[in-house]
Amino acid sequence: MPLMNKTVAFIGAGVMCEAMIRGLLKNRLIEPDRIIAADPHEQRGADLVERYGLRFTTNNVEAAEQGDVLVLSVKPQVMNSVLSGILGHVKHGALVLSIAAGVKIKRIAKGCGNPSVVRAMPNTPGQIGEGITVWVATPEVSAEQRHWAEAVLGALGETLYVDDEKFMDMATALNGSGPSYVFLLMEAMIDAGVHMGFSRQDSQKLVHQTMLGSVRYAIESGMHPAELRNQVTSPGGTSAAALYHLEKGRIRTVISRAIWAAYERSVELGKDEDD
Ligand SMILES: NC(=O)c1ccc[n+]([C@@H]2O[C@H](COP(=O)([O-])OP(=O)(O)OC[C@H]3O[C@@H](n4cnc5c(N)ncnc54)[C@H](OP(=O)(O)O)[C@@H]3O)[C@@H](O)[C@H]2O)c1
């Protein structure tokens, strides 16, 4: 119980904040009255209080003063004003955990005056506890605080710790933006099913389970994707015909280039911040 007798405070009570709260409570990692969320929207607060029994405030300072773990779950555009508003009010010994895309550790630590910072990159499946979050910590983050970070981020699904902030740009391109690539492939396959004559509903069902089953099979078998692909590709068969066209359309190069472009964009946005 790493969060026993600790208070987890959230600044920005939007989609990701609620996903973390839901996961924390579902996994019984914390009592509801040990959670405090701050957000400008009173109605949003009332809804969260009713659903989860947590505490709510419209005052960020109130949350900052109480949080042993202070989660910054606001959009990157408002980060500067949030940080300057809580400067000098972060609880002594607190861990500040930011999930804001592209906001560097240095800016967070300096902005809120707290050296113990974790920066994390979650992804949208975290909203149902099926995400994967990459995270990095400053040297000041203690072993105990790392356990707090793992518990809070674990509420969104799997976690992967990295020892250098440079991996955050790569994570942004791979797991952060990753779901958008999968959804595009999913959409294209569903449309192809409809093109052939399946109803949209049936095509969707076939594609969803094909994707889910393929991923589970890959994980459980532990086999290399090429080996799994060869298993279903008989000489002169239907899979071979389809794969020929995917390769001819340079699918590997397109995917590789696309992910590299996302990486380059993330690095570029980070440079803007350094200026
Ligand atoms: N969604 C994802 O899957 C995902 C994945 C990776 C990273 N992230 C990161 O997670 C962060 C949160 O994303 P989200 O999807 O949860 O955003 P969201 O739903 O928009 O939640 C942010 C909340 O913060 C509120 N807010 C705005 N200004 C504030 C202030 N000064 N003080 C306190 N609260 C304030 C917003 O109110 P308003 O609506 O009035 O602005 C909103 O309720 C972002 O930085 C994003 O980059 C999200």
Only one residue has tokens 């029994």, namely 53
Mean pLDDT, rounded, of the chain: 96
User: Ligand 1 center to residue 75 CA distance, Å?
Assistant: 4
Rounded Cα distance between 120 and 99, Å, is: 5
**Residue 223 maps to a domain:** yes
| Domain containing residue 234: CATH number | 1.10.3730.10
Q: Provide the 3-class DSSP secondary structure of residue 176.
A: helix
Q: At which of 134, 168, 202 does a domain end?
A: 168
User: Ligand 1 center to residue 136 CA distance, Å?
Assistant: 20
Q: Judge contact between 150 and 23, C-beta under 8 A.
A: no
**Residue 173 maps to a domain:** no
Q: Judge contact between 70 and 97, C-beta under 8 A.
A: yes
**Residue 188 maps to a domain:** yes
Q: In this predicted structure, what is the pLDDT of residue 269?
A: 87
Q: What is the pLDDT of residues 200-229, one digit of tens each?
A: 999 999 999 999 999 999 999 999 999 999
Q: Which two tokens stand for residue 118?
A: 């974790």
In ligand 1, which atom is closest to the CA atom of 82?
31
| 124 Cβ below 6 A of ligand 1 | yes
| 21 Cβ below 6 A of ligand 1 | no
Region 71-81: what's the mean pLDDT? 96
Q: At which of 107, 133, 168 does a domain end?
A: 168
Rounded Cα distance between 87 and 207, Å, is: 49
**Residue 2 maps to a domain:** no
Rounded Cα distance between 98 and 104, Å, is: 9
For the cut 60, the answer to whether the pLDDT of residue 40 exceeds it is yes
| Domain containing residue 124: CATH number | 3.40.50.720
Q: Are residues 194 and 82 in the same domain?
A: no
Q: Are residues 101 and 37 in the same domain?
A: yes
Q: Are residues 101 and 142 in the same domain?
A: yes
Q: Are residues 110 and 205 in the same domain?
A: no
| 9 Cβ below 6 A of ligand 1 | no
Q: Which of 40, 175, 81 is nearest to 120 (CA)?
A: 175
Q: In this predicted structure, what is the pLDDT of residue 275?
A: 53
Q: Are residues 148 and 214 in the same domain?
A: no
Q: Are residues 108 and 190 in the same domain?
A: no
Q: Going along 190-273, which residue ranges are E strands?
A: none
Q: What is the pLDDT of residues 119-176, one digit of tens each?
A: 999 999 999 999 999 999 999 999 999 999 999 999 999 999 999 999 999 999 999 9
Ligand 1 pocket: which of 57, 73, 180 to mutate (most atoms <8 Å of CB)?
A: 73
Total tally of structural domains belonging to the chain: 2
CB atoms within 10 A of CB 237: 11
Phi and psi for 135 in degrees, rounded to 5?
-140, 155
Its domain, for residue 140, covers: 8-168
Q: At which of 143, 168, 193 does a domain end?
A: 168
Rounded Cα distance between 127 and 18, Å, is: 8
Q: Are residues 121 and 22 in the same domain?
A: yes
Tell me the C-alpha to C-alpha distance, in Å, between residue 222 and each of 181, 228, 230. Answer: 23, 10, 15
**Residue 215 maps to a domain:** yes
Q: What is the pLDDT of residues 83-128, one digit of tens each?
A: 999 999 999 999 999 999 999 999 999 999 999 999 999 999 999 9
**Residue 275 maps to a domain:** no
Q: In this predicted structure, what is the pLDDT of residue 256?
A: 98
